[in-house]
Structure 1
Amino acid sequence: MKFAFLTDPLSQFKTYKDSTFAMMREASQRGHEIYAFGPDDLALDQGVVFARISKITLTGDAHDWYRAEEAVNCRLGDFDAVLQRKDPPFDMEYVYATYLLDLAAQQGTRVFNKPSAIRDHNEKLAIAQFSQFTAPTLVTRDEQRIRAFHKTHQEIILKPLDGMGGAGIFRVGADGMNLGSMIETLTHNGTRTIMAQRYIPDIVHGDKRILLIGGKVVPFSLARIPQNGEVRGNLAAGGVGVAQELSARDLEIAETLAPILYQRGLLLVGLDVIGSYLTEVNVTSPTCFQEIMQQKGFNVAGMFIDALEAAIR
């Protein structure tokens, strides 16, 4: 089969931990052909979606890890699957790319995750569809509502709706120190909507990434544990990842959401769970494949390629 990955530049990959690389390596080992392109390579020409796409050969070298053939203008429909693995920011250029991928899907291209499902599941707001699993949450741009929420819950977290990797996340203590400044900064003086959540003390034990693949649950999570006084466990923010078995509550959340999200066209989902609470539903480019494989020996990439092969048969 021929798999085309829509990704960030390959030169930026950190192959020792990159989940997209793990997917490519697993697919290549099975004899599939690997291709790569970026969002700037996409084009709609006379109603047909094309992209300048390079065939990729993996070298096995940790540093000089791939060889790319000269890019060729191809119909996306020429591939057995297109995998959307571009990281946020989820800006309008990202949205435009999903529109083009939607058109390609209408022309017969199998795109994972489903582009419209990515748009429909904002990674912060999607938790509102599963409120039985969430801590008290407020979404607003109104300062007075945020202040009232803080007064009720004392310790809260504020975060933007379009961030990734822990960017822009603030903890507000019971004293409300700098609350006004944080609200002004995050809402851009009341012009941008943000999320407030009751602070969950269990963050000290890690922000757990639970992976759902093909409607099934990966049996291990990666608890990303904050370091050096940080409130953020994200690996990009310096957190340390510890793979661990799922708790009964983790399983309850994951097994409830897995079939629902799969039916919506989301082959791969990364749930974020702190303590007993669902905090995010990641659908753009979920990670943590390699950390779980390295620590627990569970082949997450193998499970993913199994699900991908089954989905396109």
Structure 2
Amino acid sequence: MKIKLGVVMDPIQSINIKKDTTFSILLEAQYRNYSIYYMELKDLYIYLNKAYADAKIIELTKNKKKWYKIYKKETILLYDLHIILMRKDPPVNMEFIYSTYILEKAEKSGVIIVNKPSSLRNFNEKIFSTKFPQFTPNTLITRKKKKIKKFIKKNKEIIVKPLNGMGGNSIFRIKRRDKNFSVIIETITKNELKYCVAQKYIKEILKGDKRIIIINGIPIKWCISRIPKLYENRGNLAAGGKAKPEIVSTQNMSIAKIVGNFLAKNGIILAGIDIIGKYLIEINITSPTCIREIENFYKISISSILLNVLEKKILKKI
């Protein structure tokens, strides 16, 4: 049986193939002779209560100048696919939410969606970690400046960030008597119109923010520690952080296993959790990254592990 894999993502011409996780997964799928159907959000639609997409059948290559070729354009019923990877980057706005309802129709017809559409709606990546308070630093989610002011008075030094960001965008470190406090909070909350998350600053960030990949509830034992540049608070690779390969520590593995068990129960097959020191910071489920970085350092194919899991799920449905 030839497996048909659909992928919903940002424009493929804009990706960086050197580090793009989606590209790594698709290369492995191509190696396995899958048919690959590329889609963007705008291509999904419902007609007469059925989910469709204006898809493009593509072939990939590691050529840095031209890494994909479109072989055929085809309107397809989503339930004709075996797997759909939902790899659209944040923000998780209303257009993203609408697309999950379309994907859910395919899921109800038996298509495996990575990750489960309802879980993508239900679990905000910045709020998700609060389901595990035993592992998280002091955290406040609010729109109100006064509450953040009280929070920083108690914790002395904090990190604030928007609920819908990625890649280290708009992350601020604020000290108790920072003269920029008001303008930062006004900017982050859009003058108390938008929620933000505030967390106690964890000095272990200087040793790196660890990204641990979890597949079908099971953590990968190798991770990437993202170390901030000098005079920088953010370890995110997109913000210039340096990737350092590591074996996941016993303490962090115990956190990852507990989180992984919850993820598996909620249909979240592919996730990346972020840990600083002993603290769980975020649970990334929309389009988690760093698979390619780990694969570049170690003789392991996380993409292969993922597809092995998905193939077993397909066989159970036959």
Is the TM value for this pair above 0.5?
yes
Structure 1 counterpart of 2:78: 76
AA in 2 matched with 1:6 = V
Q: Does 1:201 align with 2:214?
A: no
The alignment of Structure 1 onto Structure 2 pairs a total of residues equal to: 313
CA deviations on 1:191-237 (whole Å, 9 max, x unpaired) are: 11111100000111111100000111111111111113111111111
TM superposition shift of 1:241 = 1.0
List gaps (5 residues or longer) in structure 1: none
Out of 191, 194, 205, the residue aligned to residue 192 of structure 1 is: 194
Structure 2 counterpart of 1:221: 223
1:174, 1:141 → 2: CA distance? 18
- Residue 21 of structure 2 contacts residue 290 of structure 2 at CA under 8 Å; is this kept in 1? yes
AA in 1 matched with 2:44 = L
AA in 1 matched with 2:237 = L
CA deviations on 1:119-140 (whole Å, 9 max, x unpaired) are: 1110000011001000000111
2:46, 2:265 → 1: CA distance? 28
1:174, 1:75 → 2: CA distance? 55
2:102, 2:158 → 1: CA distance? 39
Q: Secondary structure at the match of 2:53?
A: strand
1:49-68 equivalent positions in 2, closer than 5 A: 49-68=51-70
2:147, 2:62 → 1: CA distance? 54
Structure 2 counterpart of 1:143: 145
Worse-superposed segment, 204-213 or 54-63 = 54-63
Q: Does 1:168 align with 2:176?
A: no
AA in 1 matched with 2:154 = T
1:275-290 equivalent positions in 2, closer than 5 A: 275-290=277-292
Structure 2 counterpart of 1:254: 256
Q: Secondary structure at the match of 1:182?
A: helix
TM superposition shift of 1:56 = 1.1
2:49, 2:126 → 1: CA distance? 34
Change (3 A) 1:198 1:60: closer
1:208, 1:295 → 2: CA distance? 15
Out of 44, 47, 55, the residue aligned to residue 45 of structure 1 is: 47
Change (3 A) 1:159 1:97: same
Give the % identical residues. 39
Out of 126, 133, 136, the residue aligned to residue 134 of structure 1 is: 136
Structure 1 counterpart of 2:112: 110
TM superposition shift of 1:60 = 4.3
Out of 1, 4, 7, the residue aligned to residue 5 of structure 1 is: 7
2:89, 2:76 → 1: CA distance? 23
1:28-39 equivalent positions in 2, closer than 5 A: 28-39=30-41
1:59, 1:150 → 2: CA distance? 50
Structure 2 counterpart of 1:235: 237
2:205, 2:117 → 1: CA distance? 31
- Residue 214 of structure 2 contacts residue 220 of structure 2 at CA under 8 Å; is this kept in 1? yes
Worse-superposed segment, 60-69 or 205-214 = 60-69
TM superposition shift of 1:256 = 0.8
- Residue 58 of structure 2 contacts residue 72 of structure 2 at CA under 8 Å; is this kept in 1? no
Q: Does 1:101 align with 2:103?
A: yes
2:299, 2:184 → 1: CA distance? 42
Structure 2 counterpart of 1:23: 25
Q: Does 1:123 align with 2:125?
A: yes
Change (3 A) 1:60 1:155: closer
Structure 1 counterpart of 2:272: 270
2:62, 2:206 → 1: CA distance? 37
Q: Secondary structure at the match of 1:265?
A: coil
AA in 1 matched with 2:98 = Y
2:161, 2:16 → 1: CA distance? 27
TM superposition shift of 1:267 = 0.3
The two structures have a TM-score, normalised by structure 1, of 0.97
List gaps (5 residues or longer) in structure 2: none
Structure 2 counterpart of 1:302: 304
The two structures have a TM-score, normalised by structure 2, of 0.96
Q: Secondary structure at the match of 2:168?
A: coil
- Residue 216 of structure 2 contacts residue 263 of structure 2 at CA under 8 Å; is this kept in 1? no
